């Protein structure tokens, strides 16, 4: 999708875009854009996207400058007339981005977790930050659990992770390994990576991080420390595995999954997460709007992939059937390919969430470009178990029908709509977050 097409789509949807890519203002002094928040985004991905936007704007001599303060930088370009254009990026953790929006010291928040209800309330004067135009998923990331390269363990489940990082499991021998005491490595309290781990692994089980954990503001430094410590274990964003060893993760009844690109793209991997830009609707900055649009464009998503994150570009992938799959799903996998996108829904409803709304356009583009719009698509819905399997079967098909309704509007004729109920969970059904992940719709093409 080009930047121009994305702007047109945003306008047609009534979303708050006020500047086109061709007429962004370049004031004589001060930054044109201030971004604050996630270190996961701000360390490399955010600056790369800003540089890409500047080059698309025709700015010259685009480069980054590093001030004295850690985890901050300035992206700089020049107009043809020699005027300096700057964008300031501070990457001190997701929560700092929302604080900066409230204090009017940032125009755009970068976050590696969804906005919290308390933050949403505190920022309501800026507009609804959960609206489709404000909450923008720019990439998918996976939290990798990393060990020293020589650690023989290859798999852990989320319950074990909670016990390890809370300090209840203290030695590698308790996990069937060797090496003595476990050394814990974790991101700092401002980090969206830590927020995600705390929410997905610790808080869900009523646990807190052990105070003995060594804390890091820098993802790179944490990863390098684990890779040098034979007794170490840490959690990190996918691009920062570096020299460490990532292990496969099990959640509930899910299969063991390594943090592979395909499993993270579909958000099936238990520790996958979304990376966000939050754009305040009532405090518009044309450069912020243009950056959001650029990040969603094909050029922006190529930069996402080049920086080690998972782009939202739709691709077809072969799935190898196995005995744990229902027979009907095995048959499907033998004859069709699955697209690298799952549609998910707002909590407690059959309404597509903000990412799913963006994905409708991406899937439609893929189907049209590959001549797959006429009876070559099957939608497959899944639900969560709860107490009534028959209800799960019905709801799984109804969710698939919700996706069908949207794509039919653009002329897609489907081969089949399937519902597999609560089979093949990708997360534990014991918490709301897991149930939301299990309520999904897959797209298969012939």
Mean pLDDT computed over 332-342: 97
pTM for the predicted model, two decimal places: 0.82
Say if 3-134+279-306 and 142-263 have the same CATH topology: yes
Domain ranges, ordered by start, for the chain = 3-134+279-306, 142-263, 314-445
Using the predicted structure, report yes or no on whether residue 21 has a pLDDT greater than 70: no
* Predicted local distance difference test score (pLDDT) of residue 72: 95
Please check the confidence at residue 241 and state whether its pLDDT lies above 50. Answer: yes
Give the model's pLDDT for residue 151.
95
Read off the pLDDT of each residue in 25-41 and give the average, rounded to a whole number: 92
Write the CATH number of the domain with boundaries 142-263.
3.40.190.10
Output the pLDDT for position 102: 97
CATH H-level superfamily of 314-445: OmpA-like domain (3.30.1330.60)
What is the CATH code for 3-134+279-306?
3.40.190.10
Summarised one tens digit per residue, pLDDT across range 382-402 is 988 766 777 788 888 999 999
Q: Mapped to the 3 state alphabet, what secondary structure does the chain carry?
A: CCHHHHHHHHHHCCCCCCCCCCCCCCCCCCCCEEEEECHHHHCCHHHHHHHHHHHHCCCEEEEEECCCCCCEEEEEEECCCCCEEEEEEECCCHHHHHHHHHCCCCCEEEECCCCCHHHHHHCHHHCCCCCCCCEEEEEEEEEEEEECCCCCCCEEEHHHHHHHHHCCCCEHHHHCCCCCECEEEEECCCCHHHHHHHHHHHHHHCCCCCCCCEEECCHHHHHHHHHCCCCEEEEEEHHHCCCCEECEEECCCCCCECCCHHHHHCCCCCCEEEEEEECCCCCCCHHHHHHHHHHHCHHHHHHHHHCCCECCCCCEECCCCCCCCCHHHHHHHHHCEEEEEEEEECCCCCCECHHHHHHHHHHHHHHHHCCCCECCEEEEEECCCCCCHHHHHHHHHHHHHHHHHHHHCCCCECCEEEECCCCCCCCCCCCHHHHHHHCEEEEEEC
């Amino acid at each position: 999708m080009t930047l121009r097409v994305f702007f047109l789509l945003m306008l047609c949807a009534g979303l708050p875009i006020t500047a086109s890519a061709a007429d962004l203002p370049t004031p004589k002094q001060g930054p044109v854009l201030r971004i604050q928040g996630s270190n996961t985004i701000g360390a490399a991905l955010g600056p790369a996207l800003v540089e890409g936007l500047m080059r698309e704007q025709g700015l010259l001599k685009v480069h980054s400058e590093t001030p004295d303060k850690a985890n901050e930088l300035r992206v700089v370009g020049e107009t043809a007339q020699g005027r300096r254009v700057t964008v300031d990026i501070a990457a001190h953790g997701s929560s700092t981005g929302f604080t900066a929006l409230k204090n009017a010291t940032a125009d755009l928040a970068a976050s590696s977790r969804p906005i919290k209800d308390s933050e949403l309330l505190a920022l309501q004067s800026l507009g609804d930050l959960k609206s489709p135009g404000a909450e923008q998923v720019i990439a998918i990331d996976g939290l990798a659990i990393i060990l020293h390269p020589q650690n023989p363990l290859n798999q852990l489940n989320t319950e074990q992770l909670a016990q390890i990082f809370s300090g209840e499991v203290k030695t590698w021998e308790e996990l069937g390994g060797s090496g003595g005491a476990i050394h814990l490595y974790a991101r700092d309290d401002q980090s969206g990576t830590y927020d995600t781990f705390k929410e997905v692994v610790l808080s869900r089980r009523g646990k807190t991080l052990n105070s003995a954990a060594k804390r890091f503001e820098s993802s790179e430094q944490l990863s390098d420390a684990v890779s040098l410590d034979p007794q170490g274990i840490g959690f990190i964003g996918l691009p920062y595995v570096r020299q460490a060893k990532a292990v496969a993760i099990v959640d509930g009844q899910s299969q063991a999954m390594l943090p592979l690109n395909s499993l993270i793209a579909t958000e099936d991997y238990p520790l996958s997460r979304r990376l966000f830009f939050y754009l305040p609707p009532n405090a518009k900055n044309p450069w912020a709007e243009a950056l959001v649009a650029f990040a969603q464009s094909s050029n922006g998503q190529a930069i996402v992939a080049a920086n080690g994150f998972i782009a939202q570009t739709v691709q077809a992938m072969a799935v190898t059937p196995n005995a744990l799959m229902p027979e009907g799903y095995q048959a499907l996998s033998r004859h069709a390919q699955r697209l690298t996108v799952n549609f998910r829904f707002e909590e407690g409803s059959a309404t597509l969430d903000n990412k799913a709304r963006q994905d409708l356009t991406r899937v439609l583009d893929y189907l049209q470009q590959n001549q797959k719009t006429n009876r070559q698509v099957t939608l497959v819905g899944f639900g969560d178990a709860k107490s009534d399997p028959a209800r799960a079967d019905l709801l799984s098909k109804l969710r698939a029908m919700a996706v069908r309704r949207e794509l039919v509007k653009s002329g897609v004729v489907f081969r089949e709509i399937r519902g597999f109920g609560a089979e093949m969970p990708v997360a534990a059904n014991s918490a709301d977050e897991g149930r939301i992940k299990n309520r999904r719709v897959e797209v298969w093409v012939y």
